[in-house]
Amino acid sequence: MRIDIVTIFPEVFAPLESSIIGRARKNNLVDIRIWNLRDFVHPEDRHRKVDDAPYGGGRGMVFKCEPLFEAVKKIKEENAGSKVILTTPQGTLFTQEKAVVFSREKGLIIICGHYEGIDERVSSICDEEISIGDYTLTGGELPAMVMVEGVVRLLEGVLPGESPANDSFFSGLLDWPCYTRPEEYNGMKVPEVLLSGNHSRIEEWRKKQALMRTKERRPDLYRAYVERRETREED
């Protein structure tokens, strides 16, 4: 899979060279390329200006459409068929289900928004607009990295075994409680069932704990999980 990221701050993406994502890149399981939007401004613009004041007045600056159109055009010449994603507070919420869908794409082009917004005409070349939450960030660089992390870890060979299927949200539930050595610390003990060696009992305990934790901490997810289960039973 190939992921192209268009940004005015290429240096921000250094973390994508580390940990799981870094190993996946070294093992050629994913090809991640960072593009500087300033490289696509009009050749006569010696200041490499990518933004301008908004028509109609108002505060802040707006990304110009021309460099973004040129950037996407160039990337698609190299990797046709890529899905174009714009990071924006107005977008659809990024979820585990969305990560699964994106992981099945041939390629992704992620445009990092910034400043007060992006010229609305850019939406005409975007397949989807995505937000990572209902809060304000300076730009789309962090959301882009969140999406890359969520997608890449689902690619075949990136994580050992079937570990992604056990992650929180993958089944619609939060993860169960985890413990490791020592068995007791400051009077707090590891649940006996985890020490029993009885794998069927452990699995049953983990499922119950995941249900309880989701119901207590994320009742919205729990309701959605119950509704999906009831729908499957009716079918």
Which of 33, 66, 70, 89 is flagged as catalytic?
Answer: 89
Is residue 64 domain-shared with residue 131, that is, in the same domain?
A: yes
Does 175 lie in the same domain as 136?
no
pLDDT at 166: 57
Among 99, 103, 127, residue whose Cα is nearest residue 2: 103
How many residues in total does the chain contain? 235
- At residue 155's C-alpha, the angle toward residues 149 and 159, to 5°, is 80
Q: Kindly state the helix (H) or strand (E) to which residue 175 belongs, with its residue range.
A: none
Residue 223: which domain range? Answer: 168-234
**Contact indicator for 31, 2 with CB cutoff of 8 Å:** yes
DSSP letters of 138-156? Answer: SBSHHHHHHHHHHHHTTST
State both tokens at 187: 């009077």
Copy the structure tokens of residue 53: 């004041």
Asked whether residue 106 is assigned to any structural domain, the reply reads yes
User: What is the per-residue pLDDT for 165?
Assistant: 55
Angle between helices 219-234 and 199-217 (to 10 degrees): 120
3-class SS of residue 157: coil
Q: CA 112, 115, 116, 120 torsion: positive or negative?
A: negative
Sort 208 into a burial class: Cβ within 10 Å, 0-12 / 13-18 / 19+. exposed
Same structural domain, 80 and 109 = yes
> What gap in Å lies between CA 208 and CA 47, rounded to an integer?
60
CATH number at residue 205: 1.10.1270.20
Look up 213 and say whether it is catalytic: no
- Catalytic choice (39, 119, 149, 167): 167
CATH of the domain at 46: 3.40.1280.10
Q: What is the pLDDT along the chain (235 residues), one digit of tens a residue?
A: 999 999 999 999 999 999 999 999 999 999 999 999 999 998 888 889 999 999 999 888 999 999 999 999 999 999 999 999 999 999 999 999 999 999 999 999 999 998 678 999 999 999 999 999 999 899 999 999 999 999 999 999 999 875 665 565 667 899 999 999 999 999 999 999 999 999 999 999 999 999 999 999 999 999 999 999 998 888 7
- What DSSP string describes 8-52? S-GGGGGGGGSHHHHHHHHTTS-EEEEEEGGGGS-TT-TT---EE
* Both tokens assigned to 86: 């714009």
Active site residue 70: no
Task: Out of 128, 152, 176, pick the residue that ends a domain.
Answer: 152
Q: Which of 8, 4, 83 is nearest to 16 (CA)?
A: 4
Q: 39, 66, 116, 175: which one is catalytic?
A: 116
In the prediction, which pLDDT does 43 show? 86
Tell whether 143 and 32 lie within a shared domain: yes
Omega before 143 within 30 of 0, i.e. cis: no
Q: CA 178 to CA 196: how far, in whole Å?
A: 15
Choosing from 4, 51, 67, 153, the catalytic residue is 153
Verify whether residue 153 is a known catalytic residue: yes
* Residue at which a domain ends, from 152, 185, 213: 152
In what helix (H) or strand (E) does residue 124 lie, and over which residues does it extend? none
116 is catalytic: yes
- Number of domains present in the structure of the chain: 2
Coil, strand or helix at 233: helix
